[in-house]
Structure 1
Amino acid sequence: MIAIWVIVIVLLLIILDEQLGRKRKRASPKKEYPMRQSDMTLFTNGKHLFADYFQSIEQATHHIHILFYIVKTDEISQQFFSLLQQKAKEGIEVRLLVDWVGSFGLPRKTIRSLKKSGVRFAYSQKPTFPYFFYQLNRRNHRKITVIDGTIGYIGGFNIGKEYIGQDADFGDWRDYHLKVSGEGVADLQAQFLDDWKATTRETVQNEERYFPPLPNGAIAHRFIATNGDGLEEDFSRLIRQAQREIMIGSPYFIPGKNVMDALLDALKRQVAVTILVPLKADHLFVKEAAFPYFYRLLKAGAHIHRFYQGFYHAKTIIVDDNICNIGTANFDKRSFFLNGEMNCFIYDRAFTQQMKHVIRYELSRSERLTLDWWKKRSVWERGKESLSTLLSQWL
């Protein structure tokens, strides 16, 4: 009986902490960067991405700015750390910012070694009292790299062996990451420096040296940074623009009411809606939390597929033939209402067609869900679904 009361009191304290924190601490407003023209390379395979990524780091001559949500401590992570240390010893400015929750397992020995070599390291979103649980639940999920102010990377990959397909539990890891050159790199740089200052309170001297002149590229796009506010409206607006087709890829599908209403409205307008999610789950309850949404969408005529040849971690929305979004945000309430995210809205027909070919390839390695499958779920699955629905705001 005492144990039950302890659990109840702890839960009440967490809820109170969350509510008070929400009232006292307002999230940073959405930052919508200007329309830009850049050149972009799409990576869907971790081995290809990191071969290019590490080469770009090796060639850095002035500075390396990196923000990741997750950095592990396995072999590829050690290669990553060693490379940053080498560049710092060469006199290159290296700043590494990682999320406190996402990269919680980093050993202190590793951090000390990085700092000793000259790498400037900091934890983003490190929770403090008061409002510890409120802050714990808000994470910096952006993955941004800027090298010499001329090359940028953004997307869904983190640093760890699973992202290059070396984790037997996940197998082939599918994700989308962009390499950017041209005008848009300045916006990635600006966002990194904003996050760095917010974390370290460091005033970066002669900031203009991080913003060299940049050429126009071929692809029109806009970066949008959110901090738990504004992304739901952006996604809803994008969906409501659709006239023929919507394709959504996400590892987690917990959209909430407004985005769900936009999807159902699109189906009523005879817009074809295709949703791609993983068959496997990498977190408790997230798969089951999608089931109530799947049922309503299947009834309305949506096509829902689950990727079975590995793990699908990509984040994308494609609308008709000339608009797509690639970034760090999942199609869930956490990305909409809690996390710091960075998305790239791309307005280019050729790039959108490339993305459609990628999605069709993923669909060829996926199973299609049906209403009959939904109705035949086990009692255990239905129970997990009910619990997942209650927890969906925090998954």
Structure 2
Amino acid sequence: MFRAFLCQSGFDVSRKSTTLKLLDPVLPFPLSRTFCTSNPNTFAVSYLINNLGFSPESALKASKHARFKTSEKPDSVVTFFRNHGFTVSDTRSIITRQPSLLSCKVDKRVLPKFQFLQSIGASSSDIVRIVTSNPKFMESSLENSVIPAYNLVYRFHQSEKKTLASVIRCPSLLCSLYFELNVKLLGDNGVASSSISRILSLSPRVLCSSYLEKTVQELKDMGFDPSKAYFSLAMVAKRGMSKSKWDEKVDTFKKWGWSEEAILEAFKKQPLCMVASNDKINRVMLFWVNQLGWDSSYLMKRPCIFSYSLEKRVIPRASVVHYLLSKGLRSERISLTSPFFITEKLFLKRYVTCFEEEESSQLLKLYLGKMRTQGNRDVSCS
């Protein structure tokens, strides 16, 4: 659909275009017929309060960037949003952040952006989400900013579906001052296109942030190779939290006996272990160390466990392994972490159904019992 939009906009495209049904900008009736020729700022304040429910303070602030002498333009904007699924609250939120929209011509500034979003496959609800999340997008140039940014995202995903998903997740991609610069920065540092695509899928806002060069250097100083796949995960983890939050995670791991060197090694093995909340880290450690009596050092070697669901995977599988060890059905030299990284079917085959019928039945009962206790659906052993 996006190709069709480009064709109608005069852009040369190679792929087969499709017919695009443009959104109808019909504005059935004005919200107000009030006119004011004295103080346009006073009129704007009154309009914002009476038609959009602004407080006097917020209306005064917004009016400094939205001066209009009559209700014609603001009525057309508000009516347009209402006709396309936006609530009064949505519209108020948009105007609060981009008050100048009330002074624009709908068919010149607003409608083309809606047509563009429709052309790339966005649904009505998607459009509401994109616009309310980042109204600045409506002020950006379609030809000079929005379309080139979309094409840049598509270049890495090579999929319209994935590209739209990234845009919905982070509408700032379409109007960020940093996106193109950050992509170039990563490319210059040897980050592969597949890694940039991964960042766009997991946390696209990383590529819209400032001072990304500092994070790249920090990760390189930690020993990460930008050309490796895990660099993208490390980037997502490091930029996904403030320094204070990062330090809190480090302190949490230290509380369980990990040194800074061990934390760094765990981060290098599985960067997303640092994305786990402090509560999640503590709950995993409490179960692993206090309830099972296992050494936390095992988790340093396989920090992926912090990325798994404690209720759906860790507790049920660990309970089975703990039972096998207590009954002498598995050697003490068994890997305590391997059972967590295999498929459900393989886990049941290796640790449950491989025993005699009576023992197997007991293990399955234990396993399913833990799953039910944690509020999860039953699993099949087939």
Give the structure with the higher percent helix.
Answer: 2
TM-score (norm 1): 0.24
Using the size of structure 2 for normalisation, the TM-score is 0.25
Bigger share in strand: 1
